[in-house]
Amino acid sequence: MSESQEYHLKVPMEFDFQQNLNYLLRESNEVMYQIEGQKITRVVEIDNLLILIRLSYKEAYLRISILNEVHLTEEQVAKLLIFVEDFFDLTRDLKPFYQLAKADPILKNVASQFYGLRLMGVPDFFEAISWGILGQQITLSFAYTLKRRLVERFGEKISYHGQVYWAFPTAAVIADADMADLLALKLSRRKCEYLQEVARLILSGQISKEAYLSMADTETVEKAMTTIRGIGPWTANYVMMRCFRLGEAFPTADVGLLNALKVVQGLPEKPTQSSLLHLKKCWGQWCGYSTFYLWRLLY
């Protein structure tokens, strides 16, 4: 099929496609998308329909090309465009962040270095929370290996021109998975249990992205999420940043954040908890973006 189904999204001025592409290219073992040249190809699931899209950029517009044979309703097209907007966080006005960064000794240089980088999202709730669970207490490279194993064992795929593209497993599939099959991926038993418990909570409607977004603030969301077995403050704040898009989310115990602050500030040791609380107050609704840009120094 030719790339005949195309849609376009205008991007904000504070958007640099190459910066975002460089971020996505940092991990060669990523399974959720493939990058060739200046094009990103990935599967998006809309209403249980797998859509293979290719994203490219030209003259202030993102071009979204649909590669597989699917027939979308107007409502499904709208959902697809919202997904892409969310993936790149296109609806957020970054001018206030850059204004803040200009006067901030920690953020000034990093904001300039990565100007136009958006906080790349994980719009799907189950994928985001699963990635948070997979990444607990292991190296980032091994976390990517575990994610690839999980996706290639339990996810659906689309083959296109000799390449295979994967969709993240659904909560229903993981909830019903045999424990032995999960353990075979070299996941710890505890992480297998966490993934299945979260999947079942989602399926039963006991937790949802919409319910968390209806809560008053990040503290309330964190408190609610950390009642779930296997979800600590780090995972909760990660999901708030990457999925819920709550700007004040701030994973203060994150090793990458602490190391980046140590480097930028020239500290002999990692920053203290009191200094992190001070930064949280100073950065406010830009804690998530500040964290993401500091992560970018290391990854």
Active site residues: 254
Expressed in percent and rounded to 5, the helix, strand and coil fractions of the chain are 50, 15, 35
- The phi and psi torsions of 89 (rounded to 5 degrees) equal 55, 50
Pairing mode, if any, of strands 33-36 and 5-10?
Answer: unpaired
Q: Report DSSP letters for 9-43, one per residue.
A: EEPPSS--HHHHHHHHHT-TT--SEEEETTEEEEE
Q: Which two tokens stand for residue 290?
A: 């500040």
- Judge whether 64 and 7 are in contact, CB under 8 Å: yes
- Judge whether 70 and 51 are in contact, CB under 8 Å: yes
| Cα dihedral 30, 144, 140, 197 sign | positive
- The phi and psi torsions of 287 (rounded to 5 degrees) equal -60, -45
